[in-house]
Chain A
C-alpha cells in the first residue's frame, strides 16, 4: 500500500495492461486505476457488458478487457476520476478521461499533459469532447498523445 504514502501509483502497482492486440483493435478499452478497497460500485453497476468484476461493494473493480466494448458508461459516473479509456490507432495513442475544469475543452484544443505525479509530459490535441451539460458537467475528452504515453498521461489542462 505504498501508493497511500504518495498519492499516485508507480509502474509496479498498476493493474495488468490490456494486450497489444486489444489496444490496437477497433474499439478503445477501459483501464481502471482504483486499487484500494472502498465502498464504491457505480462503475460495476453501469457496465452493461459484464466487463467489470466486483463481488462486493468494497472490492476494487477488475476489468475483463475482452468483454469491454469501450462504451464509456463507467467513465461517465466514476466519482474517483479513476477510469481511463485507452486506444492505439494508426500508430497514435488516445486517452479519454474525465475533465471538470474551466475553460471547457473543445475538439482541436491544445492541452498540457500531466502524469500521475503531476509532471508535465508535453502537449496533446483534443480529438473529441463530450459537452459538459451532456454529463452533469463532467466532460469526457479524448486527447491524442504519443503511443508510449497512453499509460502515462492522466490529466490535461488547457494552456
Chain B
C-alpha cells in the first residue's frame, strides 16, 4: 500500500524498523506514525466503540478524533496517529476480546436493539440485589477504555520555564506568519507545535495555491510551508518547540508538554493562538465504519506518508477540500468513483471542479450519501438524489463501487485554548462554529491574547498568513517594538486582507466577521 512514486512528492522514508501489533511483527519506517505504518500493513480496524463494540478505523490522522487510540508500550489510550514508530514498539488494541479485528463483544451491537431497547438499561437487572451487584461488577469490567499501566513508566520527567514576549501556539501558516512578523520587529518569540514538523495543514497540500503572486499564489502548499519556516529561522530571537502539545493557558502562562517528557511553562507577554481546525463528519448509516475518513486524514496518509488509502474512493462534499483531494487521489493513481454534493451547485472553485471532471470523475450535485456498505470495512456506498426540500427522491438510489469514503464537509475551529484563556466566544455559522470575538487586529476580549487562521474562522491558508501577520505585528507594536515602520506595515496588512476578501467568496467571511467584531478596539 506504500506509494513508490508520485508526480509531486518524493517520499523520504527513514530506516526500516519492526513494531509489534497485538504481538505480530509489522514492518515500518522511521518517520511514520504508528497509525500510518499499521494502515500500510493492511490494518483497518483500529479500535472498538465504547458501548456497542462497533469497529472503528482512523478518521482524522491529526490527533483530533480519538478513533485510533491503542495501548503503546503498556500505556493505554495513545492516539497512534500522533506517535512515531520506534524499533520494537509494542502496540495493542484495547477494549476488545481478543483484539479489535475479531472482537467477540461485537455481538452486543447485534443484540442490543432486540433485547435492550433504548433506555431499558435503567430498568433491567435492578432486583434482586445480588443480581444487580453482579451485573454492575461485570459491566464495570467492560466499561472504559484501556487498562491502567501496572507500573509507572520509567522516564525522566523534566521541567522548564521560559520567558517570551510573544508565545505562538500552532505552527501552521497562521502561527508561522504571526511568529515571523513579531520576530521581525525584535520581539522574543516562542513557537509551539505538537507535530515534529512545522507547516500545519500545508504539508499535505501538493497543489499550487490561489491568491495573488505577492502571497505566493501559484506555489505549492508544501513549498509555502518550507518558505515560511526558512523565513522564521532567519531570526535569532525565535525559539521553536516542536512535538510540544499545549494543554493550557493560565493567565499569560502557556503550558505544554514537550516530547512527552518535559513540562514546559512559557511566561509570555502576548499570546497568539493559531491552533487550526477539526474536520467535521456527517450523519449517515454506518458512518463509523473503517474506511470512512476525513478528507484531511486521507491527505495526510497519502501526501505525507505516501500510503494509499484504498483503490477507489467516494468523495462527499464538493468544496475546495473535496475537489482538491479528488485531484490528489488521481495523481497518486487512485480511482475516484464520484463526488456527491447536497447543494444544487458545486461549493468550491469551478476551476478545481473542471480539473477532475475532465478526467472523468462524475460530480453529482443535489445528491447525498445514504449509507456505507460493509461489515468491518467499507465495501461500497449508496447515494441518492435530493429534491428541493432536501428529501431523498424515491427510486434514485445508486450503488457506488468504492473501498473508502472521504468526508469533506468542512471544518470547525479548534478553540479549546480560547475557552481556557477566557475569551468571549460566539457561534458564527459563516466562520464554521464557535469563534472568538476579536478586534480588527485579531486581539480577543482577553487583552494580549490574539487569534490567527482557521481557529478564528474557517477560511484558507492565504487568509491565515495575512491574519498571522496582523496579529504578529500588532503584538510586537503593543510591546513597544517596531516603531513607524511596523505601524505602516500593519496598515498595509489590514488593507491587503480587506482586498483579498472583497470578492464573492469572501462575502460570507466578511458577513461572519461583522458578527464578532469587538467594539472596544484596543488602540495603540
Interface residues, chain A, with chain B CB atoms under 8 Å away: 1, 3-9, 33-42, 45-46, 56-58, 76-82, 100-102, 104, 114-118, 132, 136-138, 154-155, 157
Taking a contact as CB atoms under 8 Å apart, the answer to whether B6 and A102 are in contact is yes
Taking a contact as CB atoms under 8 Å apart, the answer to whether A38 and B358 are in contact is no
Whole-angstrom CA separation of A136 from B346 in the bound complex? 29
Tell me the chain B residues, 208-228 only, with Cβ under 8 Å from chain A. 208-214, 217-220, 223
Whole-angstrom CA separation of A137 from B10 in the bound complex? 11
Whole-angstrom CA separation of A97 from B198 in the bound complex? 33
Q: Does B26 contact A (CB under 8 A)?
A: no
Taking a contact as CB atoms under 8 Å apart, the answer to whether A7 and B499 are in contact is no
Q: Does B250 contact A (CB under 8 A)?
A: no
Closest to B352 in A: A80
Taking a contact as CB atoms under 8 Å apart, the answer to whether A38 and B210 are in contact is yes
Closest to A154 in B: B358
Q: Mark B181-220, 1 if CB is under 8 A from A, else 0.
A: 0000000000000000000000000011111111001111
Give the residues in chain A near B264, CB-CB below 8 Å: none
Give the residues in chain B near A76, CB-CB below 8 Å: 218
Q: Mark B352-364, 1 if CB is under 8 A from A, else 0.
A: 1111111111010
Give the residues in chain A near B220, CB-CB below 8 Å: 136
Taking a contact as CB atoms under 8 Å apart, the answer to whether B218 and A80 are in contact is no
Closest to B6 in A: A102
Q: Does B152 contact A (CB under 8 A)?
A: no
Give the residues in chain B near A35, CB-CB below 8 Å: 350
Taking a contact as CB atoms under 8 Å apart, the answer to whether A79 and B7 are in contact is no
Q: Does B50 contact A (CB under 8 A)?
A: no
Q: How far is the CB of B133 from chain A (nearest CB, A)?
A: 62
Taking a contact as CB atoms under 8 Å apart, the answer to whether B358 and A79 are in contact is no
Taking a contact as CB atoms under 8 Å apart, the answer to whether A79 and B6 are in contact is no
Q: Does B506 contact A (CB under 8 A)?
A: yes
Which of under 10, 10 to 19, 20 to 34, or 35 or more describes the interface residues of B? 35 or more
Interface CB pairs A-B, < 8 A, 20: A4-B345, A5-B346, A33-B351, A33-B354, A36-B351, A37-B503, A38-B351, A39-B211, A39-B503, A46-B213, A56-B502, A77-B213, A80-B354, A81-B351, A100-B331, A114-B358, A114-B359, A117-B358, A118-B360, A132-B7
Whole-angstrom CA separation of A115 from B159 in the bound complex? 62
Give the residues in chain B near A34, CB-CB below 8 Å: 350-351
Q: How far is the CB of B124 from chain A (nearest CB, A)?
A: 53
Given known contacts A36-B351, A79-B208, A80-B351, is B506 in contact with A101 (CB within 8 Å)? no
Whole-angstrom CA separation of A133 from B502 in the bound complex? 35
Given known contacts A38-B210, A39-B500, is B346 in contact with A80 (CB within 8 Å)? no
Taking a contact as CB atoms under 8 Å apart, the answer to whether B7 and A100 are in contact is yes
Taking a contact as CB atoms under 8 Å apart, the answer to whether A8 and B351 are in contact is no
Give the residues in chain B near A9, CB-CB below 8 Å: 354
Closest to B503 in A: A58
Whole-angstrom CA separation of A116 from B223 in the bound complex? 29
Given known contacts A5-B365, A41-B217, A102-B7, is B503 in contact with A82 (CB within 8 Å)? no
Taking a contact as CB atoms under 8 Å apart, the answer to whether A80 and B210 are in contact is yes
Closest to B320 in A: A38
Q: Name the contact of B359 in the complex, choosing from A4, A38, A58, A118 (C-beta under 8 A).
A: A118
Give the residues in chain A near B395, CB-CB below 8 Å: none
Whole-angstrom CA separation of A115 from B360 in the bound complex? 9
Q: Does B247 contact A (CB under 8 A)?
A: no
Closest to A40 in B: B210
Q: How far is the CB of B373 from chain A (nearest CB, A)?
A: 26
Taking a contact as CB atoms under 8 Å apart, the answer to whether A101 and B7 are in contact is yes
Q: Name the contact of B354 in the complex, choosing from A1, A8, A57, A157 (C-beta under 8 A).
A: A8
